[in-house]
């Protein structure tokens, strides 16, 4: 179903044959802007004010206290929210979904954008817009869910707003804390200069990585960065098409910034686990086809055995004084759920955060339940899935890779796991 700008509809009409569901997924996508975007959902009272700051959901506050709204990005979208309307208190009268430019740019530069509704992963209604609808605004009110006569309705707002995210917060009656002074320009420039000197092809990626690092307040963090690559038989297409090489190139700027030695530690696995030489600015360009004579000679490409490589990674970093960000790429087919759960539960006391990324696969098993996995001293895992690596731009990818890392870092420090 297509929704027009300004249209107001009962929520029930957006879900054919379902009625008015109480749990819905909203996906957001905007392309054409060079700057990064901050997406947010404001839970407002009957006076259309943010009476409770905990009901502003964005990258720094991913969930309402009642669990009624939380960040959750559908496959193929740039941002998204999972809304459990029946959990929202009666004081929350409407949910307003917004986007704000973080940096230079104007909304008239948008090439295409949408807000869409999904039910069980399938699109049911779509509101499309382009930059022709806007001028020099820095923010947008995309749409809103609101209560009327005891039922939820939707309005496709599509309205530009002068000012960025802070201006939106003030508009809705919230308070904006004094901004933390920006890091010295040298902190950002050092990453770009270092990469420009040794790998000029990656300079654009370095700039985007620097934006995300500052956004998530990680510009001064020193950490180790590791990449774990699924090399089971079902991944052969991802290797031969260059998708896995692309992962190396996209992640290396993060490693160069974070890591004390500027290296990206790499493991590959199928039935067995293989520790590969670190990826660096000197060897990244043909890493997948050149390292250890190339991926076809690694002796892998059989069934997947995640516990084997998880054990290797834990053993390698046990005792490290630095926090570790492990990015674990898989195309699914996960079956050893009990063993994986036990290993990650035990590893929660170590300074390791595991960011699992699904690419082009299915049957992710326990990886999709990491946020609800009990028995850990801290939540040490995150997961998101992409249908295709090309379905997400670098800025959005960095934001998602780093989204849960600061929260884990703070929790790990409070528990004495990281010093």
The more confidently predicted of residues 363 and 130 is 130
Question: Does residue 275 sit in helix, strand or coil?
Answer: strand
> DSSP letter at 64?
-
pLDDT of residue 181: 44
**Residue bearing tokens 């490693």:** 255
Q: Summarize pLDDT for 219-242 with one digit per residue, the tens.
A: 788 899 999 999 999 999 999 999
List, in sequence order, every residue forming a beta bridge with 274; answer none if it has no partner: 268
pLDDT at position 182, please? 43
What is d(CA 63, CA 78) in angstroms, rounded to the nearest whole number? 18
pLDDT tens digits for range 159-218: 888 888 888 888 888 877 544 444 444 444 456 666 777 788 888 888 888 888 888 888
Domains with residue ranges and CATH for the chain: 2-171 (2.60.60.30), 185-414 (3.40.50.410)
Q: Is the pLDDT of residue 328 over 70?
A: yes
| Percentage of the chain exceeding pLDDT 70 | 93
CA gap 196, 209 in Å, rounded: 14
For the cut 90, the answer to whether the pLDDT of residue 22 exceeds it is no
Mean pLDDT of 78-103: 93
Q: Give the residue-averaged pLDDT of 19-32.
A: 88
3-state secondary structure of 167: helix
Say what the pTM is: 0.60
């Amino acid at each position: 179903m297509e929704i027009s700008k300004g249209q107001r509809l009962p929520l029930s009409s957006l879900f054919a044959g379902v009625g008015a569901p109480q749990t819905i997924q909203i996906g957001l996508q905007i392309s054409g802007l060079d700057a990064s975007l901050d997406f947010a959902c404001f839970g407002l009272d009957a006076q259309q004010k943010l009476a409770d700051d905990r009901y502003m959901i964005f990258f720094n506050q991913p969930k309402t206290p009642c669990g009624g709204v939380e960040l959750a990005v559908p496959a193929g979208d740039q941002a998204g929210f999972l809304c459990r309307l029946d959990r929202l208190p009666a004081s929350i009268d409407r949910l307003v979904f917004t986007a704000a430019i973080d940096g230079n740019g104007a909304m008239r530069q948008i090439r295409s954008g949408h807000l869409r509704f999904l039910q069980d992963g399938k699109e049911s209604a779509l509101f499309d817009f382009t930059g022709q609808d806007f001028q020099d605004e820095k923010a947008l009110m995309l749409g809103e869910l609101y209560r009327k006569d005891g039922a939820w309705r939707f309005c496709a707002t599509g309205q530009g707003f002068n000012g960025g995210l802070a201006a939106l917060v003030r508009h809705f009656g919230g308070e904006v804390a004094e901004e933390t002074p920006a890091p010295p320009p040298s902190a950002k420039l050092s990453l770009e200069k270092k990469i420009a000197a040794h790998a000029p092809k990656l300079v654009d990626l370095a700039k985007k990585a620097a934006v995300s690092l500052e956004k998530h307040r990680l510009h001064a963090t020193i950490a180790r960065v590791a990449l774990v690559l699924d090399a089971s038989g079902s991944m052969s297409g991802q290797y031969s098409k260059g998708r896995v090489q692309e992962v190396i190139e996209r992640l290396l700027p993060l490693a160069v910034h974070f890591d004390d030695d500027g290296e990206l530690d790499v493991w590959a696995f199928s039935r067995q686990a293989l520790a590969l030489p670190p990826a660096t600015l000197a060897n990244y360009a043909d890493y997948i086809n050149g390292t250890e004579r190339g991926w076809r000679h690694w002796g892998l490409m059989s069934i997947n055995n995640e516990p084997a490589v998880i054990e290797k990674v834990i053993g390698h970093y046990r005792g490290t004084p630095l926090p570790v960000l492990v990015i674990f790429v898989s195309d699914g087919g996960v079956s050893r759920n009990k063993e994986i759960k036990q290993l990650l539960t035990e590893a929660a006391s170590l300074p390791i955060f595991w960011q699992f990324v699904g690419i082009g696969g299915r049957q992710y098993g326990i990886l999709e339940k990491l946020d609800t996995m009990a028995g850990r001293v801290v939540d040490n895992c995150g997961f998101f899935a992409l249908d295709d690596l090309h379905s997400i731009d670098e800025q959005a990818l960095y934001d998602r890779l780093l989204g849960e890392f600061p929260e884990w870092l703070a929790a790990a420090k409070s528990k004495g796991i990281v010093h």
